[in-house]
A and B are shown apart, each in its own frame.
Chain A
Amino acid sequence: MPISRPTDVTATLDALAASPDADLLAGGTDLVVEVNLDRRRPEHVIALRRVTELAGHDTTDGRLRLGANVTYSEVEHDLAQLVPGLAMAARTVGSPQIRNAGTLGGNLGTASPAGDTLPWLLAMDAEVELASPEGDRSVPLANFLTGPKSTARRPAELITGVRLPRVEGPQHVSKIGPRNAMVISVACFAIVLDTTNRRVRTGMGAVGPTVLRSPDAERAVTQALDWDALTCPEDAIDAFGRACAEATAPITDHRSSAEYRRHAVGVLARRALRRCLST
C-alpha cells in the first residue's frame, strides 16, 4: 500500500488527483479504527501531518482561521482564551492520547452526528475551507454537513481549515455520555452569547442526522435577553430549553433512547444559557 507524505497543499492535491481513492490520514483516530474493524481497506494513504499550511491558527480581517491539523490538545491548552467553547468541547474528546492525535480536520472529515467540535462550530457559523486543483472555496458548516457521516467535500478536495467570526461574550459547551469521561456523545449542546452582534448562537450534537440548531429558539431568546445586564426571565429560559428540545430529531440506539436525548438536550440548553448569564 503506497503512502504519500506531502509537505504542502499543492503536493497533497497532486497526490489526491493522481489517486482519487486515496484515504487522507490526519491523526488516524477515526481512520485507523475503521481499518481495524475491517470497514475500510485503504489502497493508498496520503498522510497529512507534514503539510505545513494545515497547522496552527491565525487571525486576519477580524476572522479567526484554525488549520485542519490543529489537535484537540492544542485547542484545549493553547487556544482556550481564543475559543473557550471549542476548548471545552475538545476537553470532552476521548483520552489524552486521542486528544494529542485527533484533529479538527478529522472531526470534519468524519462528520459524525456525535462529532464534538461540530455543535460549537455550527453555533459560530464556521466556514469550512476546501482546496482543490480547481481552486479554493469555503462552505458554511451547515451546508458542508449533508447527513450522518456525509459531507459536501468533493473527492479531489482537501479540508484546509475552518474560519470563524471573532465574537465576544460568554459561551459554554456541555456533553452527555453515560460515563464521566471518554465517551461518545449522547447529547451535546453549545451556546455563545454573541454580545458583539447581540445574538444567541447555538448548536446541538447527537440529536439528529447532523448537528442542528433551532433558529426559532435562538430568535426568541435573543429577544428575551437583556443584553446590557446579561439577564433573562426564567420563563424565557425554560421556553428556550423546550424549543431546543423540540427542534431535535434524535434516534434510539444502543447508546441511548430518542426520548432521553431530546429531554437531555433541553436540560443542557437551559443550563448552558443560565451559566452564560450574570447572576
Chain B
Amino acid sequence: MSTGTEVRPGTRSGLGQSVRRPDGTPKVTGTFAFSSDLFARGMLWGRTLRSPHPAARIRSIDTSIAERMPGVASVLTARDVPGRPTYGLEHADQPVFASETVRFQGEPIAVVAAEHPELALRAVAAIEVDYEVVTPLTDAEAAIGAAPIHPDGNVFRHLHLRHGDLDAVGAVSVEGSYEVGMQDQAFLGPESGLAIPVDDGGVELFISTQWLHVDRDQVAACLGLPPERVHLTLSGIGGAFGAREDVSLQVHVCLLALRTGRPVKMLYSREESFHGHVHRHPARLWYRHHADPDGRLVKVEARIVLDGGAYASSSTAVIGNAVCFAAGPYRVPNADVDGWAVRTNNPPCGAMRGFGAVQVCFGHEAQMDRLAAALAMDPVELRLRNALAPGDELPTGQVITGTAPVREVIEAAMALEPPPLAATDPPADGTMDLPGGAGLTATRADVVRGTGLAVGFKNLMYSEGFDDASTANVRVELDHRGEPLATVHCAAAEVGQGFVTLAQQIVRSVLGVEQVALRPADTTIGSAGSTSASRQTWMSGGAVELACLAVAEALAERAGYGGGAPDEVLDLDVVELLREGPIDRTRAHHHPPTEPLDEDGQGDAHVSFAFAAHRAVVDVDPELGLVKVRHIATGQDVGRALNPQAVIGQIEGGIAQGLGLAVMEEMLLEDGRLRNPSFTDYLIPTALDMPPVTATLIEQPEPGAPFGAKGVGEPPTISSTPAIVAAIRAATGLELPRIPVRPEHIALAEA
C-alpha cells in the first residue's frame, strides 16, 4: 500500500518533471550497447534448426554430419536436455526441442554452436530431419472439438462469465461478428543473448528479457540446476511489447555454453525473430448488445475465440482479460460472455501490449456505434450515458473502488480541436499528406473525411490472485568527493518505458539526493516481476519508494529522531549523517491481493484499471481503399503524470501500434505458414502514416497507488485501433468487420 509520500515541488529532476532518460543520449547517438552487441573473448555462435512444417511427426534426426564439421563445437537436440524437457510461462507445455511432434512452423529441433556464425549456419543446414508431414489444424473454432494435437488438449481455457439476469432483453438489440488478425510486436532489436559457463557448474546469462526471474526459473528447470546456479543480467533491449515475456533462446544458449564450456552468443535474424517469439492472439468475436430506448445498456452477450497457436504461453490470462473487459468501460447490469483460448498449429500467441483488451475493444466499440445507429443517437452521447464511474460494478461483480474517469477521458478526446488540420485542411494536391502518401495517387477531390471515437480500458498489474511483487534496494553513501550518492538496485527490466528515469526521480523526490546511480538489473536481488501489464511504475516504483522511506527512517534514527520521521529527511544534514557510513535497505512492494474468478467469471480479480478514449480523424480514398490518419485526440486516465514527457512518449508509441493494427500490421498465415516474416512485408507505420497526436492527461490520483500514478503503457494501444476504424466507417459507410483493414476491403467493397 502507498505510504503517501508528498512530492515536494522544487526538487530538481524529481517526480512530476519531464526528466531526460539517462540512456537517451547513448541511444540516439548509437553508443548504447544492445544485447545484440554482446561479445566475449573466445565465444562460439549458436544457431537454431527450425521446422519448415507447421505440423509433422519426426521420424529421425541425424546430426552426425554436422557434428563432424570443422569448427562445430556442439550439436544438441531434445536428448541433450538434462532437466525438464518443456517450459512455459504458466504451463510448461512447450518442448525445449521438438523430438517427436512438430506443432508450428519454426519450432526448434536442434541447436549448434560453432566458431563462426557462418559455420553454425552450415552445420544447421547439414542436420538431416526426416519429417512425416501432417495436415495442420489451423482453424481455432474447429480446434475446440478436434482431436487433440498435444497431450494437454486443444483448449487452453474456457471461461464463461455469467452476470445478472441472463434472460433480460432490451427494447433494441444489435448483433455483429468481428475478426482481428495476428499482430506482431515488431520490436527492432532481435532476440539475442550471451551465456558464460561458471566454475561451479552454473551459468551466467546476459539477456534481453521482460522478466529476469521467470526466465531464470524456467532455464534452471530445463538445465536441471538449482535456480541459484543460474544468474541472469539484463542486457540492452530494443523494444519488447510482450514478445520478450516468453523464453526464446535462453535455454538453448545456456545448454550450449554448459556443454562446450565456452561462452556462446545467439542472435536471431529478422526472419527467425518473427518465428521465435509469441504474437498477439487473432480473435473471432460475436456480440449482441441490448439497450433500453434511452440507450442504457441492458445486457451484453459475447462469444470470443482466441487462437493461441501451438503452445500455452500466457493464453489463459489473455482470455481472462478478454472476457473480463469484453463489454468495455460501460455499466452493464447483465452479461453472458463465453470465451475460449485454443491450441492450433499456428504460431504461438501470448502477451502483447493491451493483452486481450485490444481484441475485444475492436468488437465492443463497433457494437456501440451500431447501437447508436439503431437508436438514432449520437455515439458519443451513448457512451457517456453508459460510462463506468467509481462505485459501479463490472460484469465480474467487482466494484470499482479506485478512480474511473471514463466520462472525463471521452470529454477530453472530444473537446480537443485538431489544430494541425486547420492550416492544411484538406491537404493540397501534390503533397504527400493525402491518402497514398508518397505514391501521389489521389487529389483532394478523391478524398472523403471521417471521424470516429472509441473508449477502452484494462487492468493494471497481474490479476486473478497473482502476487506479482517487486523488490528494490536503495543504498546511500558519500562519493569520493564527499557528495551524497544513492544507488538503486532493482530487477525491473528497462524495455524502453523509462523505469530507469523514474527510479532516479523517486529517489530525488523522497530522499532529496540529486545523484542517483542505477545498478544493472540482475537476479542477485529479488524479482521485480515482469515489465508488462502497465505495472512497473506502480510495482517497482512502489518498491523503490519503500526502500527510500526505509533509508529515510534510518537517517532519521541516526539524527536522533527515534521512531523515525521520514518526512523530515529532506531537512536533515545528509552529508553529516552519512559520514558514519552507508545506509542500505531492501524492500518488497505488494499490491492489494486479488482473487481468482469463479466458474461464472465472478470475483474481485483485478487491482486497478486504466481508461482512455481516442478520437480519430481520417482521410480515405474510397476508390483505391487508401487511408491517411490525419489526427488523433486522446484523453487518458494516468492517475498522476510522474514524467509527463515519458507519458506522452507512451501515448504516441501506443497509438502508432494501434494504428498499425487498424490498417496494416498482420502476420499473414496460409495453412499455418507465415507469408511475411520480414519488415519488407510485415508493414509497421512510418512517419508519414503517423498523425499528430493531441493528448489531455486526466490526473486523478489513484488511491493505493504509489504517488497516485497509474500505468500508462497499454491504454493508448487499446482504443486507438477501433477509433481509426470507426472513422473509416464514417467516411465510407462500410461495415469493415475485420482488422487490419486492407485497401481491397474498401475499394472492392465499393465496386
Contact = CB atoms under 8 A, between A and B. Distances in A.
B238 interface: no
Given A179-B686, A180-B686, A254-B668, A263 B751 contact: yes
B137 to A, nearest CB: 22
B441 A254 contact: no
Contacts of B442: 271
B748 A260 contact: yes
Contacts of B686: 179-182
B598 interface: no
Contacts of B432: 180-181
A178 B683 contact: yes
B747 A264 contact: yes
A275 B443 contact: yes
A182 B439 CA distance: 10
Contact of A38 (B121, B440, B678): B121
A183 B439 CA distance: 10
Contact of B688 (A37, A174, A180, A254): A180
A242 to B, nearest CB: 12
B663 to A, nearest CB: 8
A92 B432 CA distance: 10
Contacts of B446: 271
A207 interface: no
A263 B626 CA distance: 13
Interface in A168-187: 172-184, 186
Contacts of A175: 438-441
Contact-residue bracket for chain A: 20 to 34
Contacts of A180: 432, 435-439, 626, 628, 686, 688-689
Contacts of B414: none
A183 B686 CA distance: 10
A256 interface: yes
B680 interface: yes
A260 B744 contact: yes
Contacts of A184: 680-681
Nearest to B741: A178
B742 interface: yes
Given A181-B688, A260-B748, A263-B751, A173 B440 contact: yes
B747 A181 contact: no
Nearest to A179: B683
Contacts, number: 93
A268 interface: yes
B441 A271 contact: yes
A147 B241 CA distance: 42
Given A178-B664, A179-B686, A181-B432, A267 B624 contact: yes
B342 to A, nearest CB: 25
Nearest to B683: A179
B748 A263 contact: yes
Contact of B440 (A36, A172, A183): A172
Contacts of A256: 743-744
Nearest to B434: A180
Nearest to B680: A184
B685 interface: yes
A88 interface: yes
A91 interface: yes
B438 A178 contact: no
A260 B676 contact: no
A254 B439 contact: no
Interface string B167-182: 0000000000000000
A58 interface: no
B675 A264 contact: no
Interface string B657-701: 000000110001000000110101101011111000000000000
A50 interface: no
A182 B689 CA distance: 10
B440 A179 contact: no
Contacts of A176: 436, 439, 441, 624, 626, 743
B271 interface: yes
B623 interface: yes
Nearest to B684: A179
Contact of A254 (B624, B681, B685): B681
Interface of B: 121, 269, 271, 432, 435-443, 446, 623-626, 628, 663-664, 668, 675-676, 678, 680-681, 683, 685-689, 742-744, 747-748, 751
24 contacts: A36-B269, A37-B271, A37-B678, A38-B121, A88-B440, A92-B439, A172-B440, A175-B441, A178-B626, A179-B686, A180-B438, A180-B626, A180-B628, A180-B689, A181-B437, A181-B689, A182-B686, A184-B680, A256-B744, A260-B748, A264-B747, A267-B747, A271-B442, A271-B443
